């Protein structure tokens, strides 16, 4: 069998799609907007908006809203673990400045004043800082204060 066999197919990647490191999106795939493709995944076919897909071959892991709920729960667990490890190592709870910026959304006031005092919260690679600031201002912290967060840590040790 001789000759040349060509192939072409339109690949469509919607707006606001995160593609993890070393993922491969095969020709002809259609990825809906606001989706996440896990690192190392091999993706083919069509995926609806708001999909979280991963694997080789890629499969649907969950919806974006389910992923967000799981991440919020894990964020709190991680923050408590971080603060608890600090206390165990140093004999006292960390100050707000000694906590990772990753957790500041849990306990800092979501205000213009916080934006001004903590500009480093909004310098994530590949993310528009204006989008983060807007989301920060329209959301609410889980705790009324950093002290409330530390009290929660004391009552819920890891």
2 is a domain residue: no
Residues 54-73 have a mean pLDDT of 94
Number of H helices, E strands in the chain: 4, 9
Residue 94 has pLDDT above 90, yes or no: yes
Cβ–Cβ under 8 Å, residues 53 and 59: yes
Residue 51's SS3 state is strand
Pair (20, 76) in one structural domain? no
pTM, entire model = 0.69
Cβ–Cβ under 8 Å, residues 23 and 41: yes
pLDDT digits (tens, 9 = 90+) for 28-41: 999 999 999 999 99
Pair (100, 132) in one structural domain? yes
Pair (78, 144) in one structural domain? yes
Rg (CA), the chain: 21
Classify residue 84 as exposed, middle or buried by CB count within 10 Å of its CB (0-12, 13-18, 19+): middle
Which of 59-63, 66-70, 103-107, 130-134 has the highest mean predicted lDDT (pLDDT)? Answer: 59-63
Whether the bond into 5 is cis, omega within 30 of 0: no
Cβ–Cβ under 8 Å, residues 103 and 75: yes
3 is a domain residue: no
Pair (104, 52) in one structural domain? no
Q: 10 Å Cβ neighbour count for 99?
A: 21
Domain count, the chain: 2
The domain in which residue 98 lies consists of 68-155
121 is a domain residue: yes
22: domain CATH number? Answer: 2.160.10.10
Pair (74, 110) in one structural domain? yes
């Amino acid at each position: 069998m001789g000759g040349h066999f060509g192939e072409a197919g339109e690949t469509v990647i919607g707006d606001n799609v995160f593609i993890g490191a070393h993922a491969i999106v095969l020709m002809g795939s259609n990825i809906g907007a606001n989706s996440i493709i896990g690192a190392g995944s091999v993706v083919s076919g069509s995926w609806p908006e708001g999909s979280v897909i991963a694997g080789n071959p890629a499969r649907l892991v969950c919806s974006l809203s389910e992923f967000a709920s799981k991440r919020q729960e894990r964020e709190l667990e991680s923050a408590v673990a971080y603060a608890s490890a600090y206390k165990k190592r140093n004999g006292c709870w960390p100050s707000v400045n000694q906590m990772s910026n990753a957790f500041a959304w849990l306990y800092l006031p979501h205000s213009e004043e916080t934006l001004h005092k903590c500009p480093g919260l909004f310098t994530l690679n590949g993310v528009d800082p204006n989008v983060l600031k807007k989301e920060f201002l329209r959301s609410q912290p889980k705790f009324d204060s950093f002290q409330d967060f530390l009290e929660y840590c004391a009552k819920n040790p890891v």
